[in-house]
């Protein structure tokens, strides 16, 4: 069970990193689909965080956990301010041409 939770945690956080990076780049290029991509990235980060929390109950905090917590805070801030919590009209990063 531990291996399954660890796999979910690693997969979700890795895919979230890729999606948030891609969403930011696409938003700066004016692609509206970037908001949906950022929404999925944030949901995966949340799922990965939940799995990480379960793992932390049984293990001490490691440096990887601290780094991923910093990433989560950054992803939430990016989603809130850059992507307007998923609302295109409030997305500050989206450069519509």
Query: pLDDT tens digits, residue range 39-95?
Result: 999 999 999 999 988 888 877 656 677 787 888 899 889 999 889 998 888 888 887
In a domain, 7, yes or no: yes
- Using alpha carbons only, give the angle 46, 10, 63 rounded to the nearest 5 degrees: 90
CA distance 43 to 30: 22
What's the domain count of the chain? 1
Whether 42 is covered by a domain: the verdict is yes
In a domain, 50, yes or no: yes
Q: Please indicate, yes or no, if residue 64 is contained in any of the structural domains.
A: yes
Instruction: Tell me whether residue 97 is in a domain.
Output: no
pLDDT above 70 for 8: yes
- CA atoms of 59 and 81, how far apart (whole Å): 33
More confident residue, 97 or 17: 17
Domain with 6 in it: 2-90
Q: How far apart are CA 82 and CA 35, in angstroms?
A: 9
């Amino acid at each position: 069970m531990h291996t399954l939770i660890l796999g979910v945690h690693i997969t979700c956080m890795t895919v979230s990193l890729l999606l948030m990076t891609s969403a930011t780049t696409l938003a700066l290029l004016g692609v509206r689909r970037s908001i949906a991509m950022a929404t999925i990235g944030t949901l995966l980060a949340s799922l990965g965080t939940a799995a990480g929390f379960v793992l932390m109950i049984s293990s001490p905090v490691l440096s990887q956990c601290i780094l991923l917590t910093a990433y989560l805070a950054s992803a939430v801030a990016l989603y809130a301010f850059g992507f307007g919590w998923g609302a295109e009209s409030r997305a500050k990063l989206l450069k519509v041409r």
